[in-house]
Amino acid sequence: MRTGACLLFALSLPLFAQFQNNAQFQNNTEPKMNCDQRSSRRDREQRSCEVRESRLPVTQRLDIDAAPNGGVTVLGWNRPEILVRARVEGMGETEGEAKSLAQQVQIQTAAGRVKAVGPKPANNAWWTVSYEVFVPHKIDLTVETVNGGVNAQDLEGRLEFRTLNGGMNLARLAGDVKGRTTNGGLNVDLVGGAWRGSGLDVETTNGGVNVALPADYSARVQMRTRNGGLRTDFPVALTGERSNSLDFSIGSGGAPVRAVTGNGGITLKKKNI
């Protein structure tokens, strides 16, 4: 009996460690998404809204697809489960039409994939689904939207974020992180002493970029804008034909922290904390 108990304890250690909070991560437990937040602002449009919740077992990888309309927030927490909160909205010319449309939308959460399916919009009737998802801090994650922003906090792993029309807010991340948007700004807030993992690589075609780093951070910083200004709190010289790029190491160097915009300014801030 004692041998079996020791074996069970040893096997549980990796799983237990997976959900422990890293010092640089916050344990997000408070849901904030609700129906007071409105996706549509058309005065004559009738709206139906509800928030649906699903609890899923932990998977090594999770894919979240918010197409065609809707934003995604993903938050790391310490719990050994995944909580998916979906705000389902139906819009139509009448209240009944809006409610009927929302009721036809289904949230699929099988096989490590979160996606909404619903009827094809007709005339002035349409639907949208936005997500607030709580996951263990360490997870491989893909988030994709078409019309909606991405907010990701307190995560580590192979993380990929893609959107067409929407901004990205990324805070307290680690691992191999890539983010791409066509129309939207980028906000990146990093903590700790150095980037843990292979690096950060984010890019927008049309939008400004704000990156905040601790003053004693260690990384290789690479920033570039094609059409826009570049400001930095760090004492380094701008490079490029139009002084529109940065490529330097701070602290002891390390993994690359890269941010690029086609049309927009870049601000690199030093956090004295």
27 lies in the same domain as 142: yes
137 lies in the same domain as 189: no
34 lies in the same domain as 144: yes
Whether residue 86 is contained in a domain is answered as yes
Whether residue 14 is contained in a domain is answered as no
One digit per residue, the tens of pLDDT, for the chain of length 273 reads 344 444 433 333 344 344 444 668 999 999 999 999 776 556 568 999 999 999 999 999 999 999 989 999 999 999 999 999 999 999 999 999 999 999 999 999 999 999 999 998 877 889 999 999 999 999 999 999 999 999 999 999 999 999 999 999 999 999 999 999 999 999 999 999 999 999 999 999 999 999 999 999 999 999 999 999 999 999 887 766 557 899 999 999 999 999 999 999 999 999 975
Alpha-carbon distances, residue 94 vs 44, 49, 97, 117, 120 (angstroms): 9, 14, 5, 22, 17
User: Does residue 245 sit in helix, strand or coil?
Assistant: strand
CB 185 within 8 A of CB 192: no
32 lies in the same domain as 140: yes
Closest among 143, 111, 113, 147 to 128, alpha carbons compared: 147
pLDDT of residue 85: 98
Sorted by sequence, the CB contacts under 8 Å of residue 38 that are 6+ apart come out as: 47, 49, 89
132 lies in the same domain as 59: yes
196 lies in the same domain as 141: no
pLDDT of residue 159: 98
CB 157 within 8 A of CB 117: no
Tokens of 127: 């639907």
Whether residue 67 is contained in a domain is answered as yes
51 lies in the same domain as 115: yes
- Structural domain harbouring 207: 185-273
Q: What is the DSSP letter of 87?
A: E
Whether residue 154 is contained in a domain is answered as no
Whether residue 119 is contained in a domain is answered as yes
198 lies in the same domain as 129: no
209 lies in the same domain as 110: no
47 lies in the same domain as 115: yes
pLDDT of residue 218: 95
User: Does the N-terminal peptide bond of residue 68 adopt cis geometry, omega within 30 degrees of 0?
Assistant: yes
Counting the structural domains of the chain, the total is 2
User: Helix count (H) and strand count (E) of the chain?
Assistant: 2, 18
Alpha-carbon distances, residue 43 vs 27, 34, 38, 100, 102 (angstroms): 38, 20, 12, 20, 19
27 lies in the same domain as 135: yes
CB 181 within 8 A of CB 152: no
128 lies in the same domain as 212: no
